[in-house]
Every structure is written in structure tokens, then in C-alpha cells.
Amino acid sequence: MPERLVRSQAVFSGRVIKVQVDEVALAGGRHSQREVVVHPGAVVMLAEDGEGRILFVSQYRHATGKTLLELPAGTLEPGEAPEAAAARELGEETGYEPGGLERLGGFYSAPGFCTEYLHAFLCTRLRPSQHRPDFDEEIAPVRLTLAEALARAHTGEIQDAKTLATLLLYQLRTAN
């Protein structure tokens, strides 16, 4: 490995993330520090409604100071399988659960400083769910065709990385 962990110090532990400062040994004996956000991982779902539309959510994101248009997504619970998290989160954010669930791929959200790995799924054959949004989420559903979503991505209206990456994975799947 090009870097070897020498020591790690936890500097923050919150409800969802932890932050640690790692001292690493580099090639040639030099040392450096890495600030790492430790995240349990997440899921993102591209859900097709059976009428040629994809379910999106419009949600205010405090960190950006903006309302963003995103695909439904959420954090893995301890010990939860990504497939179970995808079904649960889709229900909480859209009111639907998938009858069909297919893995599209996965990716790191920001590997320069964060451990978060997102599992991307295609959700089909949607049916009503009993799940409800978390108490602190105010989400408005938006349905778009793929062409409408890609146009919004092109104009910069969709700025969320997990949404852009999952749209790309979906396009690659349908191109084959």
C-alpha cells in the first residue's frame, strides 16, 4: 500500500458520521495527516413508475443552502443489507416499495475525505408502501422522464452527485 496507517484519533462522533484524523506513513518514510469522514454507507434508487417516468425528490439540503432535485436515497442502518435499505428508503421517501430490485453498481461519494460508498439500484414494479418519511425530512415528489432528467442535468438543475452518477449507471445499463 502506498500509505500505511500509523495512528488514528477520533475527533467527532455524531448520529450518522464520525470524523477522525489519521497519521499515515508515506513512501520514503515521510508522514502526513488525513482527515476522514467515516460514513456507514448508503443506497440510491432509480425508481421507474411503469409509465416511463422516474421518481425524484425535491429536498432542502442545509449544507448547500439549496433545494436539490435528487433520486431517493438514504443511509444504511447497522447490519442492514443494501437491498433492504433500498426498499425501506424508497418507501420512506416516495411512498412506494419495489417489486423488482436490480443492482446498477456502486461508487464512493467523495473518496478524498469520506468513506461513504453508495449502492445504486433500479427499482421497478412499484407498489404502495406503509413506510413514512423520517420526522425531519420534508420531501416533495417529482416525476420526470429520462429525457427530462438528462435535460435538467445538462442545464445544471440537477447538481447532486449521487443522482448524476446513478443516471449514468442507468444509461450504461440500457445502452447494452
Q: Please say if the pLDDT value at position 175 is more than 70.
A: yes
Confidence of residue 146 (pLDDT cuts 50, 70, 90): very high
DSSP 22: E
CATH numeric code, 42-175: 3.90.79.10
Residue type, 106: G
Q: Is 145 helix (H, G, I), strand (E, B) or coil?
A: coil
Q: What is the pLDDT of residue 135?
A: 67
Residue 131 has pLDDT above 80, yes or no: no
pLDDT of residue 130: 81
Active-site positions read: 137
> Domain map of the chain by residue range?
3-38, 42-175
The rounded distance, in Å, linking the Cα atoms of 128 and 3 is 48
C-alpha cell at 88: 425501506
For 16-53, what is each residue's pLDDT tens digit? 999 999 999 998 889 999 999 999 999 999 999 999 99
Instruction: Classify burial at 5, counting beta carbons within 10 Å of its beta carbon; exposed 0-12, middle 13-18, buried 19 or more.
Output: exposed
Look at residue 90 in the predicted model and tell me its pLDDT.
96
| Calpha distance 120→44 (Å, rounded) | 5
